[in-house]
Chain A
């Protein structure tokens, strides 16, 4: 099977997903949708239910309440149809130890319906890209943790699925490999692949995700773009200023809000609630030029996902 045919949007639909293990509820009424070509970052504290959600989406857990659809196919009732669209990386991908890297990819690719000639070409390309070409005949038991993780990623990408579900894909990868994976995710999304991935490394989620969902205690607390989450949490708007040539004095910055100097020539101004950020930027530019300075960069700074997540956890703690 080559690249999956275009599917109806949204590509991933989860409605009212509820799951309990031995009477303990791990997911409560989780609902969200992911559009075609979108990257959805799924974050939350340990034990929130992220892996359970992803496993249900991959069809590894069958008994649950709610509807889970991939490309219009119900994962529970139209398993084969849903699986044709899916590429999945579990949290700890397992391979039979006697398999070689090539044999693992070849068999999994064949089972996904990739024709022989296409499969061999793609395996070669992926091995080169992930820098595992020299290890193609190595047995899985001889691979390091990072190499096994790369093998897991390759098997998920090999058949170019319409939907990629990745559980902690960056775990165990060195920095160049993490950059490579993020590059691949962005490439695939531009080509129309939909990605759902969970990660503890929030900065990596931030680099690639269009939207983020925060799961806590089995409930999807909030989801949206980082801008949406910023507005929802009411976090203050900050303006970042970088001077190419510092003005004679910088006291004018305090006229617009709380000021902090990050390092020499770089400042952050926290605007009060309701302040007009565009007007503040305009005023800062004029005051800088009047004071003999020059600006290299100025603009609204989006809060980091770490900040948003920390803010959410803090509020959740106080609410309890």
Chain B
């Protein structure tokens, strides 16, 4: 049976990234930040954000890790795409009878999954702290943490899709790619939350999730069109 190009390339990218120095830093940096954060917040079960509104330390660290993970994923994927392109790596792939978008999806899946795993591990450190503090873990907190991890995954996915798009548009300039990603791509993460700002569809987590994925696919689709029209 013919090999699916996207699956084949994704497997290769996983192997390439998992052993890279960048990923090693990620696997150390993100849990390290989580560890420091939970050490600082260890005596606080909840953080007061305003009158009658508080979030748990885990939720707070979740937001923080999510933002860091999104930034890392988007910059990483954009720089990777620009770097591969400038070294003529893509030429040998796009002359094969495959859809050029397979290259982008492979990069996207590999980087976003590895970053999400690193973020999930980091966010889970909070449960270890709760256990050491003797604080019971209740079902509601587990659910909230699960949602936080899913929200992080969405954020990373969106940021990564933005990184793919701007990596393709930046062609062979790493500087342009990084600027575009940090100035524009990072804001993609807020787009699915726009309805909530207008008081519409509040507490509709699964609807936001659906909108997020739809937006993610739209961004990747545009990136694919731009990539296909590129000249190598």
Contact = CB atoms under 8 A, between A and B. Distances in A.
Interface in B6-29: 8-9, 12, 15-16, 19-20
A155 B92 contact: yes
A166 to B, nearest CB: 13
Interface in A22-81: 55, 58-63, 80-81
Interface stretch (B60-68, B81-89, B150-158, B188-196): B81-89
A95 B12 contact: no
A96 B84 contact: yes
Interface residues of B, number: 26
A113 B92 CA distance: 14
B203 interface: no
Contacts of B93: 108, 111
A110 B3 contact: yes
B232 A60 contact: yes
A244 interface: no
A88 B95 CA distance: 8
Contacts of B232: 55, 60-61
Contacts of B5: 111
B94 interface: yes
A32 B225 CA distance: 32
Nearest to B20: A98
Interface of B: 2-3, 5, 8-9, 12, 15-16, 19-20, 84, 87-98, 229, 231-232
A39 B85 CA distance: 30
Given A55-B232, A58-B95, A61-B232, A96 B89 contact: yes
11 contacts: A59-B95, A63-B231, A80-B97, A94-B89, A94-B92, A95-B92, A98-B20, A103-B12, A108-B92, A111-B3, A113-B97
Nearest to B232: A60
B19 A98 contact: yes
A217 interface: no
A95 B92 CA distance: 8
Nearest to B16: A98
Nearest to A165: B95
Given A94-B88, A94-B91, A99-B12, A112 B97 contact: yes
A107 interface: yes
A294 interface: no
A155 to B, nearest CB: 6
Given A98-B16, A110-B8, A83 B95 contact: yes
Interface in A71-129: 80-81, 83-84, 86, 88, 90, 92-96, 98-99, 103, 107-108, 110-113
Nearest to A98: B16
Given A80-B97, A95-B89, 4 more contacts: A59-B94, A86-B95, A90-B88, A93-B92
A60 B231 contact: yes
A5 to B, nearest CB: 14
With most chain A CB atoms within 10 A of its CB, the pick from B15, B92, B98 is B92
5 pairs of A and B residues whose beta carbons are closest in the complex: A94-B88, A98-B16, A94-B87, A60-B232, A111-B96
Contacts of B97: 80-81, 83-84, 111-113
Contacts of B229: 62
Contacts of A98: 15-16, 19-20
A83 B95 CA distance: 6
A61 B90 CA distance: 13
Nearest to B18: A98
